[in-house]
Amino acid sequence: MVATAATSSFFPVTSSPDSSDSKNKKLGSGSTNLGGIKSKPSASSGSLQVKANAQTSPKINGTTVVTSPVEGFKNEDGAGSPHPRTFINQLPDWSMLLAAITTIFLAAEKQWMMLDWKPRRPDMLIDPFGIGRIVQDGLVFRQNFSIRSYEIGADRTASIETLMNHLQETAINHCKSAGLLGEGFGATPEMCKKNLIWVVTRMQVVFDRYPTWGDVVQVDTCVSASGKNGMRRDWLVSDSKTGEVLTRASSVWVMMNKLTRRLSKIPEEVRGEIEPYFMNSDPVVAEDSRKLVKLDKSMAEHVRKGLTPRWSDLDVNQHVNNVKYIGWILESAPLPVLETHELSSMTLEYRRECGRESILQSLTTVSDSSVGDLVNVGEIECQHLLQLEEGSEIVRGRTQWRPKYAKSFGNVGQIPAESA
């Protein structure tokens, strides 16, 4: 019936006795004949005659197979009306296929950009993992650092603590890369067996220029012998892009027993571990042989009291990190000096360590008496002392300061407009 209605909508037909009799037949029987439906006669001799024959359902292995009524429609030539399904007409819509391919490629490109495997410009090349590498016949360790936004100060340059932390980090990584890092922090395996650790006794640093946010600095470090029971470590910090020297530092280290907290000689077993890495070279900073003055409260012009270590100031050896001492020393520097000058060099002597419960004082005196008129003052030298409240010395120091912007503007008193 559905086939008949569909055909009639396109081709008008007339009823015949055969068709009316066929209505009395039961649908689905094998003798049902729908062949009586014919198209209405037309004046044209080429009129189209359509027949709808219901074929007897074929049987396969005795089972009747029901076929769709549409399959029974044939034209006068006996050909089936629906075209056979081929490979071509079974393909998907090409526009949809193209859209799917485009989506896949865009997603792959996005993932590639996120991985950031693109080649970098020479000025962007830094150590991706921050580990560094050994160069110059295995005697020099080199590591790059990028100056972060949170590592710069009010002058828009890297802070003193940031630069000193770079030095300390390369020293530890040097030991690690050389295979000399035992269970302790910077201690060799033989040092760990004997409960020995390294402590710094003297340090000299010269700041030629301060890096700023986004700069990549290259830090080279090496070690040499210093007397019979000491080791000297030097650092050379430069701009990784231009090679300009930014900072030079030299330090002397000795061994201390971490249980008794007393200094110790270098055992032969330890000497055998470290001597192959000693470099026969002169210090990168000429030694300042001038004696550091001991200050007392009567001599000090500026005193900062009540300084106490925090838990975060301690290292794994349970003593205050030596970088923290530098921050405490500068706590008592007069504010006019900090505002108009920048630190150009410092010499420090570490006398003893302090613990968690220590309360310290920072004392500073300015060598130049004309501090009140800093616009007309060139280089300034300060003497420093960090001590416990009861008087025991922790660190003696001497710092030198140069006028800010002196290199860029010639006139000491001239300050850039954006910084004024």
Per-residue pLDDT reduced to its tens digit, 193-221: 999 999 999 999 999 999 999 999 999 99
Q: Which of 166, 319, 341, 384 does the annotation list as catalytic? A: 319
Is 175 one of the catalytic residues?
A: no
Global pTM reads 0.66
User: For residues 407 and 30, what is the distance between their CA atoms, to the nearest angstrom?
Assistant: 110
SS3 348: strand
> Which CATH entry fits the domain spanning 125-284: 3.10.20.30, 3.40.309.10, 2.60.40.790, 3.10.129.10?
3.10.129.10
Is 222 one of the catalytic residues?
A: no
The predicted structure's pLDDT at residue 279: 93
Strand boundaries in 68-107, DSSP class E: 73-74
Burial of 150 (0-12, 13-18, 19+ CB in 10 A): exposed
> Which residues touch 196 (CB under 8 Å, ≥6 apart)?
187, 255, 256, 257, 258, 264, 267, 270
The predicted structure's pLDDT at residue 284: 94
AA identity, residue 301: E
Q: In the numeric block, which tokens belong to residue 133?
A: 């590498």
Contact 223, 232 (CB under 8 A): yes
> Which CATH entry fits the domain spanning 288-405: 3.10.20.30, 3.10.129.10, 2.60.40.10, 3.50.50.60?
3.10.129.10
The predicted structure's pLDDT at residue 191: 93
The domain ranges of the chain are 125-284, 288-405
Closest residue by Cα to residue 152 from 223, 80, 217, 81: 217
The predicted structure's pLDDT at residue 7: 41
The predicted structure's pLDDT at residue 372: 56
Is 354 one of the catalytic residues?
A: yes
User: Does 125-284 match 288-405 in CATH topology?
Assistant: yes
Q: Which of 175, 222, 354, 382 does the annotation list as catalytic? A: 354
The predicted structure's pLDDT at residue 255: 94
Low-confidence ranges of the chain (pLDDT < 50): 1-55, 60, 65, 67-79, 117-129, 408-420
Residue entry with tokens 């219901």: 54
The predicted structure's pLDDT at residue 374: 57
